[in-house]
Amino acid sequence: MFNDLRASDVLAAAHRIREVVQRTPLVHSSELSALAGAEVHLKLENKQTTGSFKLRGALNSVASLGDDVRRRGVVASSAGNHGLGLAYAARRFGVPATIFVPSNAPKVKRDGIAALGARVDESQPHYDAAHAAALKFAADHGATFVNPCAGATLLAGQGTVALEILEELPDLATFIVPVGGGGLLGGCASLLRRASPRTRIIGAQSVATDAMARSLTAGRVVEIGYPSTLADGLAGQIDDEGFEIGVHALDGIDTVEEDDIARAIVWLDAHGMGRVEGSGAVGVAALLARRLTSLASPVAIVVSGGNIDDDRLADLKQRFA
Amino acid sequence: MFNDLRASDVLAAAHRIREVVQRTPLVHSSELSALAGAEVHLKLENKQTTGSFKLRGALNSVASLGDDVRRRGVVASSAGNHGLGLAYAARRFGVPATIFVPSNAPKVKRDGIAALGARVDESQPHYDAAHAAALKFAADHGATFVNPCAGATLLAGQGTVALEILEELPDLATFIVPVGGGGLLGGCASLLRRASPRTRIIGAQSVATDAMARSLTAGRVVEIGYPSTLADGLAGQIDDEGFEIGVHALDGIDTVEEDDIARAIVWLDAHGMGRVEGSGAVGVAALLARRLTSLASPVAIVVSGGNIDDDRLADLKQRFA
């Protein structure tokens, strides 16, 4: 699957979603540059509409559906950013959307999804049950299931993050990206591997959500648990497609501790980069913890999202300032 | 040289010139599709500002210069579209431009270049002398010589033609492009070879200006004469860099007769594609003359420019309608 993705699909996605998606800032950081021994730039997808890059893939997925298919609606299971992105994309194209939100999900995210006009189904107790219910809903109603981290149109949309970076840094040497199920990684790599083959691609994960890192070490898909983590957007298993993406797309992968993530969130807030959620902070965490040094310059780190609760952010700022 | 061109340089060029350059129409043609046995789309660079794609490379070249270098100005030798493009780009960036126009050039093009605010030097009797004088001027005044069909920034700018096509046709199977010195071909191929490696690239030339075709057949740069041709924008020699581009970028090359070009100009005018100069019509000429058939679909043909004299167009319409 990953090797069938074409760089031209990312170019087409960018053209298709250009009028809706924000071109997010790419900001140079002197402090991180000094730590890395290279010029470091942050791609602030926390400033994206709906608060994360997930809007890009959702928009491209919905935009690529034919009129007949659109009418039957889209469906997903998500407790967070994918649900927000898909709800926004669906509203933009006038498509009915149903999002299965686990009943244990944060109320703030559920409310955000509902505020965008999507139908929210909270009947399922946890993510796996919500996922199964969403698939069943798609089968019963002829709605299109939009996977949060797979599918050619979704990945092509996520790849537009890398496209915007290359437009400003055509000699990009190091690309650092948060890795969960592999959607953002796969989309970005499908462009970078072709359009900028010398760019080194490094994944970042929390040690609590290291399915990709463990699977690459084992040489096969490894199941992990669901421990509590600040990087909740990266939590969960990877599937065969995600594993294939990791094998082909990554030159390296690093895992960071929860305290590193917390410090990165606070650091980003204090340095004017805005609110950043744990999943979005793992790349910066790896640099601040001096786990990634002597990087080839220039470096771009994707800060993938900003949807963090007020209370949690306030608590972290108090404890890690 | 060609193999050092990165697809990411084309992406960066597109970003740099986006606000100035026109996104030109990509128009489907039912008639040409029937002839080709494939879906044929025309990229109408004759509708570009200054009347040809040459503006793209000129803009990217000037935009890429540092402030100190810009102040010393730019210089080129051209009897046509490159001069117009560079004069426009220079004016846009507030850079002094000097264009050496051979005294035997059409008055209409000289006047167009002067109208854009460039200094026009007509002291040289023909193109080769104008070229030598432009190089001397650059050396004497510290001005930057902008080659019409070489240089990384110029080629990256021309490659944005292919980028816009890929954005609308990500599965582009056949790309047909007029070939003179190799600038447009090289820029487009540097993107297509990486971002869409399955695209077949076919060059088109007039038999009267077939330096590339003859050189590829001979396996070395072959000098040709300067016969009169409707495809005056493609006339002249190729250099070592152009030859290298041809070797790596072309899957095939076709040459058309003068009457085929004339018929294509008239056909394009009659089918609502606007004024097209001979150089811009060679791709369509190859299809109309049934020299290219059974093409892999979809096909994009670059109609590269539209600067044709009123009298010449009127005469062709009378003789070939």
Same domain, A138 and A70: yes
- For residue B296, count CB atoms less than 10 angstroms from its CB and return exposed for 0-12, middle for 13-18, buried for 19 or more: middle
* Residue A294 clears pLDDT 90, i.e. is over it: no
**Token pair of A80, please?**
């967070």
Last residue of a domain, one of A102, A122, A145: A145
Beta bridge partners of A252: A202
Same domain, A140 and A231: no
Residues 6+ apart with CB under 8 A from A174: A38, A199, A200, A202, A295, A296, A297, A298, A299, A300
Q: How far is CA A32 from CA A35, B37, B139, in A?
A: 5, 56, 42
Residues 6+ apart with CB under 8 A from B33: B39, B40
> What pTM did the predictor assign?
0.91
The pLDDT of residue A1 is 65
**Token pair of B217, please?**
């057949």
Instruction: Report phi then psi at B281, rounded to 5.
Output: -100, -5
Q: Which CATH number do you get for residue B89?
A: 3.40.50.1100
Last residue of a domain, one of B116, B145, B174: B145
Between CA A257 and CA A263, with CA A258 as vertex, the angle to 5 degrees is: 100
The pLDDT of residue B1 is 65
Same domain, A38 and A136: no
* Residue A104 clears pLDDT 90, i.e. is over it: no
CB-facing half-sphere around the CA of B182: CA atoms within 13 A: 27
Last residue of a domain, one of A92, A124, A145: A145
Same domain, B159 and B178: yes
Number of structural domains chain A divides into: 2
Instruction: Decide the pairing of beta strands A299-303 and B119-121.
Output: unpaired
The pLDDT of residue B15 is 97
> For A64-98, what is each residue's pLDDT tens digit?
999 999 999 999 999 789 999 999 999 999 999 99
Nearest Cβ partner for B170 among A12, A168, A195: A12
**Token pair of B66, please?**
């540092």
Neighbours of A207 (CB within 10 A): 16
CA–CA distance, A166 with A195 (Å, rounded to integer): 9
CB proximity A170 to B under 8 Å = yes
Same domain, A281 and A268: yes
Mutation target vs B (from A11, A18, A164, A175; most B CBs, 10 A cutoff): A11
Beta bridge partners of A175: A201, A300
Same domain, A78 and A165: no
Contact A171 B8 (CB under 8 A): yes
Nearest to B35 by CA among B288, B256, B253: B288
> For A146-171, what is each residue's pLDDT tens digit?
999 899 999 999 999 999 999 999 99
Contact A8 B170 (CB under 8 A): yes
Beta bridge partners of A144: A74
Nearest Cβ partner for B9 among A11, A15, A170: A170
Same domain, A74 and A103: yes
Q: State mean pLDDT over A89-108.
A: 91
Same domain, B259 and B300: yes
DSSP 8-state class, residue A143:
P
**Closest Cα in chain A, distance from residue B16 (Å):** 8
> For A119-138, what is each residue's pLDDT tens digit?
999 999 888 899 999 999 99
Same domain, A82 and A173: no
Strands laid side by side in the B74-77 sheet:
B119-121, B97-100, B74-77, B144-145
Same domain, A157 and A95: no
Listed by number, the residues of chain A in 183-212 with a beta carbon closer than 8 Å to a beta carbon of chain B are 191, 194-197
The interaxial angle of helices A240-249 and A183-195, nearest 10 deg, is 40
Contact A170 B11 (CB under 8 A): yes
> For B183-226, what is each residue's pLDDT tens digit?
999 999 999 999 999 999 999 999 999 999 999 999 999 999 88
CA–CA distance, A172 with A311 (Å, rounded to integer): 37
Q: How far is CA B28 from CA A13, A37, B40, in A?
A: 20, 51, 6
Domain extent at residue A92: 55-145
Nearest Cβ partner for B195 among A7, A170, A171: A7
**Token pair of B317, please?**
């319409």
Residue A12 with chain B: CB contacts under 8 Å: 166-168, 170
The pLDDT of residue B34 is 94
Same domain, B167 and B312: yes
> For A33-71, what is each residue's pLDDT tens digit?
999 999 999 999 999 999 999 999 999 999 999 999 999
DSSP readout, B228-273? Answer: --S-GGG-S---HHHHHHHHHH-SEEEEE-HHHHHHHHHHHHHTT-
CA–CA distance, B177 with B158 (Å, rounded to integer): 12
Nearest Cβ partner for B167 among A12, A171, A172: A12
Q: For every one of its 321 residues, what pLDDT tens digit does chain B have, with 9 covering 90 and above? A: 677 889 999 999 999 999 999 999 999 999 999 999 999 999 999 999 999 999 999 999 999 999 999 999 999 999 789 999 999 999 999 999 999 998 887 777 889 999 999 999 999 988 889 999 999 999 999 999 999 989 999 999 999 999 999 999 999 999 999 999 999 999 999 999 999 999 999 999 999 999 999 999 999 999 998 888 999 889 888 999 999 999 999 999 999 999 999 999 999 999 999 999 999 999 999 999 998 888 999 999 999 999 999 999 999 999 998
Neighbours of B66 (CB within 10 A): 7
Same domain, A138 and A202: no
Residues 6+ apart with CB under 8 A from B187: B5, B10, B57, B154, B155, B156, B157, B158, B159, B160, B161, B162
- ipTM for this prediction: 0.86
Residue A172 with chain B: CB contacts under 8 Å: 8
CB-facing half-sphere around the CA of B175: CA atoms within 13 A: 33
Residue of chain B minimizing CA distance to A156:
B170
CA–CA distance, B87 with B73 (Å, rounded to integer): 11
**Token pair of B50, please?**
């200054």
CA–CA distance, A253 with B69 (Å, rounded to integer): 42
